[in-house]
Amino acid sequence: MLDHFNRKINYLRISVTDRCNLRCMYCLPEGKFHHKKHEDILRYEEIQEVVKVSVSLGIDKIRLTGGEPLVRKDIVQLVEMIAAVGGVKDIALTTNGIYLEEFAKQLAEAGLHRINISLDTLNPEKFALTTGGGDLEKVLKGIEAAKMAGLSPIKINCVIKTTEDEPDALAVKEYCIQNGLQARFIEEMNLKTGQFSVVHGGSGGDCKNCNRLRLTSDGKMKPCLFSDIEYDIRKYGIKEAMELAINAKPEKGTCSNNGDFYNIGG
């Protein structure tokens, strides 16, 4: 489907959970955050239905994200269910990699094509500090497992403060070159206020070429990461919510005030 600015919308990012096994300093809002109620989280059958309707509206690229998608029970089964829909040319997943060693092979066999893994530093102490106790070794083993499983391409998402020349970013870049991985550098957004916005000069917010819709783990269809507009698929129905979201897609993102980044999936 084309939106009002002649952009072809063919990509849906689905957040499958608002829960995560890490506590990255830059990702969580200030103070207490409240997890969605279990009964509000979309069931796999509902997500599969969304994918079916999406395909009929021209979506051919799906990404699963979170929270951390690999903490959701039976995530491999969801990938199978999405692959079974047919018409999805590209199924991808974004993960912090902690559980990837266990899941990479099963995910690939279920129909996952490619994967993005978040990795900001190769320093184990710093990794543990910035992720709230994460084990870097597990992520590195997860990356190896993804390579062995034939997931391709493997992209590394590296959050930087301001420049790709920061020592941690340079080390990640070198590691990617040595291991045949693609590095992507994302400028850190300040989410502390519960508000996040397009980083000017940063890599986010390529609005002219935006082809995306986002589905939150509790069923809100969002036309833009940097906006509070959303349509509840349980209220409007899937097709209607998607059409409303496509029609409401702003020419340019501005900011979101709901502080819900960890639920939308970035």
What are the residues binding ligand SAM (CB under 6 A)?
Answer: 20, 26-27, 65-66, 68, 94-96, 118, 157, 159, 186, 188-189, 191, 261-262, 265-266
Closest distance of CB 4 from ligand SAM, Å:
28
Nearest to residue 198, comparing CAs of 262, 264, 251, 252? 252
Query: Which CB atom, from 68 or from 168, has the smaller least distance to ligand SAM?
Result: 68
Other beta carbons less than 10 A from residue 167's beta carbon: 10
Task: Count how many Cα atoms sit within 13 Å of the Cα of residue 219 in the half-sphere of its side chain.
Answer: 24
Burial grade of 16 (CB within 10 A; 0-12, 13-18, 19 or more): buried
Closest distance of CB 30 from ligand SAM, Å:
12
Closest distance of CB 234 from ligand SAM, Å:
23
Q: What's the maximum distance between 2 C-alpha atoms anywhere in the chain?
A: 49
Closest distance of CB 2 from ligand SAM, Å:
28
Do 138 and 101 touch, CB atoms closer than 8 A?
Answer: yes
Q: What is the DSSP letter of 5?
A: T
Closest distance of CB 197 from ligand SAM, Å:
11
Closest residue to ligand SAM in the complex (CB): 266
Query: Which CB atom, from 210 or from 238, has the smaller least distance to ligand SAM?
Result: 210
Query: Which CB atom, from 64 or from 110, has the smaller least distance to ligand SAM?
Result: 64
Q: Does residue 167 have a cis bond before it (omega within 30 degrees)?
A: no
Closest distance of CB 94 from ligand SAM, Å:
4
The Cα–Cα gap between 21 and 256 comes to 24
Query: Which CB atom, from 55 or from 115, has the smaller least distance to ligand SAM?
Result: 115
Query: Which CB atom, from 3 or from 142, has the smaller least distance to ligand SAM?
Result: 142
Q: Phi-psi region for residue 74, left (φ > 0), alpha (ψ -120 to 50) or beta?
A: left
Query: Which CB atom, from 54 or from 95, has the smaller least distance to ligand SAM?
Result: 95
